[in-house]
Amino acid sequence: MSTAIENHQSPNSSSSLKGMVTRHPVAAFLVMAFVFGWSAMLPLLLSQAGFGVLPIYLPWQPFASMLSVFGLALPAFLVTSVTSGKVGVRDLLSRCFRWRVGVHWYLIALFGLLVATLMGALPFLGVVPLEALAQNWSLLFTLFLWGVLVPFVLVNLWEELGWTGFMQHTLQERHGALLASIMVAPAFAFIHLPGFFAAGFINDEPTPLSEFPAVLVQVSILAVGAVFFRVLIMWLYNGSGRSILIVALFHSAFNMTNGQKITPQLLLLPEALASLIPWAAVMVVAVLLVVFTKGRLAYKPERAAPQPAVEVGGSKAQPTVQ
């Protein structure tokens, strides 16, 4: 009797869960992103690199990859599979590896922010950044490109598959490009919260748990800055023909430009001060893009994503990909 009841209820439970995911795909993605992503970070946080509970020291790099793969890419595929079936999954994969775009998009993604940073520093520092670049041009190949391409493959491609390829893409179809960028920014910032407590992930040294309120303030500030960053990402995504690959390259190049290596050497400034200029460049460019595109950010609705499969006569009719 109980077995019959369980067999009767199981399909209903499965159907109910699928219905919830279909009705609220972005919410389902975010729940899985934070649960899966933060769970993947637990060993790092418990190690000597974090709170010191475990008697081992774990490097942060593998956990950055796991956060991106299991916390962002996997939920994106799972939700897409439920809402759009195999057609949607194939579409998401095609956008992830869409490399046939204009060469100028690669140049913008890789070097656009670095050039904007150097140009933005000229009014304050004179020709010093250009002289430093002329003397250290080899850094572009030995440090910059290497520092961009490795995280791009291991982290940023899978990270942007979730944020841009799924969440911003989905919200853009419903709310437009600008509002989609604003809506993604807080989640994008707060998923990095555990990283503040692990050595090397955000800061060189782990932040004590006692400073949690201060970390919340930092993440909140990051969320504000992330609005401008996501606007720029949205424009690159739409302008390049919805290439997740291009925005992932830009994300990795941003991290490298905003990091502690090449920019301080080219600007001849302390690390903390040098990192402000790339952020300022992102904010200025993002505002200009919003103004000149009237908030559309190169969005073309005719490139809409596949819609969820529709039940027709007891079987699923797959939608046409436009």
* Model confidence at 161: pLDDT above 80: yes
- Angstrom CA distances, 163 to 54, 68, 69, 127, 249, stand at 32, 10, 12, 38, 14
148, 252 Cβ separation under 8 angstroms: yes
Nearest to 289 by CA among 180, 178, 182: 178
* Model confidence at 310: pLDDT above 80: no
Confidence tier at 311 by pLDDT (50, 70, 90)? very low
Share of the chain above pLDDT 70, in %: 89
244, 160 Cβ separation under 8 angstroms: yes
* Model confidence at 16: pLDDT above 70: yes
SS3 content of the chain, % helix, strand, coil (to 5): 75, 0, 25
Pairwise CA distance, residues 249 & 301, whole Å: 24
Q: Left (φ > 0), alpha (ψ -120 to 50) or beta: where does 310 sit?
A: beta
> 312 pairs with which residues across the strands?
315
Which tokens is 137 given?
């041009």
Q: What is the per-residue pLDDT for 309? A: 46
Q: What is the per-residue pLDDT for 317? A: 42
Q: What is the pLDDT of residues 189-229, one digit of tens each?
A: 999 999 999 999 988 899 999 999 999 999 999 999 999 99
Q: Which residue has the tokens 């990795």?
A: 252
Pairwise CA distance, residues 242 & 237, whole Å: 5
Q: Which residue has the tokens 């775009």?
A: 101
Q: Domain locations in the chain?
A: 2-301
Looking at per-residue pLDDT, the higher value among 313 and 109 belongs to 109
* Model confidence at 322: pLDDT above 50: no
191, 71 Cβ separation under 8 angstroms: yes
Looking at per-residue pLDDT, the higher value among 126 and 291 belongs to 291
158, 69 Cβ separation under 8 angstroms: yes
> How many residues in total does the chain contain?
322
Name the strand (E) or helix (H) holding 250.
helix 244-257
Q: What is the pLDDT of residues 226-261, one digit of tens each?
A: 999 999 999 999 999 999 999 999 999 999 998 767
Confidence tier at 2 by pLDDT (50, 70, 90)? very low
Pairwise CA distance, residues 164 & 159, whole Å: 8
Alpha helix positions (H), 136-211: 139, 145-151, 157-162, 169-175, 177-190
Q: How far is CA 153 from the centre of its chain?
A: 13
Confidence tier at 4 by pLDDT (50, 70, 90)? very low
